[in-house]
Amino acid sequence: DGFETYGVTGVALISFIMLAIPEPAVQVQLLVWLFAMRVMMIVASGVSYFGNQLLAQRLYGDKQRFNFEAPLSTLVWITSIVSLILTFIVSWLLIGNFAVAGRTVPNLWWQLSLIITLGTLAGAIIPEVVKAFTSTNSKHVREVVTASREGGASLNILSGIIAGYFSAFWIGVVIVALMAGAYVLSQFELTAVINPDHTKAVMMAAVFSFGLVAFGFLGM
């Protein structure tokens, strides 16, 4: 499902570029950049996976007992960091001299990179927030166990619901914060290149940035 959604998101962004942006030169540059980002994320994920495998074997290969969540958390953060670095490097190489109608837009590359990075960070932060409420080592899970032992099934249900509500709340806060950051970043140079009509450009840039956040998130 993740791969399918990732593909659909990419198709949606490509369709948006082709249908919403009137300038062919801008379309070409953004399409090349977008496809390069897709390839880069696949490479980053593969390199991070095998690198984390070697690290996990070195750290836990000879241990009988260890926190089984640690290697997965390490993989997520290694992938995030590698993707973040490569995103900025590839963006600088491809659209560092982005130009529209002979006018250079020098800051677009890092703004688009940062928008995608917000999605990449979502793929790392959200699992950490979930883990804070669902990990076997988390305080909330221990509270549910204590409630079950002291109060039986009814208190178990109530305690679990409360932990779930807290988890949903903080995940929502993270998502809103990241999307708000993407919106703010989209209102700078992206609006200047996406459409000559400023009123339309403001809305289009926001929609495109939200798609890039999802793109970065699913690329994880």
Q: Please report the pLDDT score of residue 180 as a whole number.
A: 95
In which band, very low, low, confident or very high, does the pLDDT at 62 lie, cut at 50, 70 and 90?
A: confident
Residue % of the chain over a pLDDT of 70? 97
- Written as one string, the DSSP assignment of 86-143 is HHHHHHHHHHTT-EETTEE-TTHHHHHHHHHHHHHHHHHHHHHHHHHHHSTTSHHHHH
Structure tokens at 82: 């590698």
Radius of gyration of the CA atoms of the chain, in A: 21
User: DSSP secondary-structure letter at 197?
Assistant: S
Q: Please report the pLDDT score of residue 50 as a whole number.
A: 93
Instruction: Give, for 152, the enclosing helix (H) or strand (E).
Output: helix 139-186
In which band, very low, low, confident or very high, does the pLDDT at 104 lie, cut at 50, 70 and 90?
A: confident
Question: What is the pLDDT averaged over residues 181-209?
Answer: 89
Q: Please report the pLDDT score of residue 56 as a whole number.
A: 86
Residue 73: what are its φ and ψ, rounded to 5°? -65, -40
What's the rounded Cα separation, in Å, for the pair 14 and 128? Answer: 31
Is the predicted pLDDT of residue 4 greater than 70, yes or no?
A: no
| 145-172 per-position pLDDT tens digit | 888 888 888 888 888 888 888 889 999 9
- Better pLDDT: 107 or 7: 107
The domain tally of the chain equals 1
Burial class for 120, CB neighbours closer than 10 Å (0-12, 13-18, 19+) = buried
In which band, very low, low, confident or very high, does the pLDDT at 3 lie, cut at 50, 70 and 90?
A: low
Task: Report the phi/psi class of residue 2: left, alpha or beta, with left for phi > 0 and alpha for psi in -120 to 50.
Answer: alpha
Range(s) of the domain holding residue 176: 2-219
Q: Which residue has the tokens 């009509």?
A: 197
Instruction: Please report how many Cα atoms fall inside a 13 Å half-sphere around the Cα of residue 212, on the Cβ side.
Output: 30
Instruction: Give, for 100, the enclosing helix (H) or strand (E).
Output: strand 99-100
Short-list 7, 13, 41, CA closest to 27: 13
Percent of the chain as helix, strand, coil, to the nearest 5: 85, 0, 15
What's the rounded Cα separation, in Å, for the pair 195 and 199? Answer: 9
What's the rounded Cα separation, in Å, for the pair 185 and 189? Answer: 8
Whether the model pTM is above 0.95: no
Length of the chain: 220
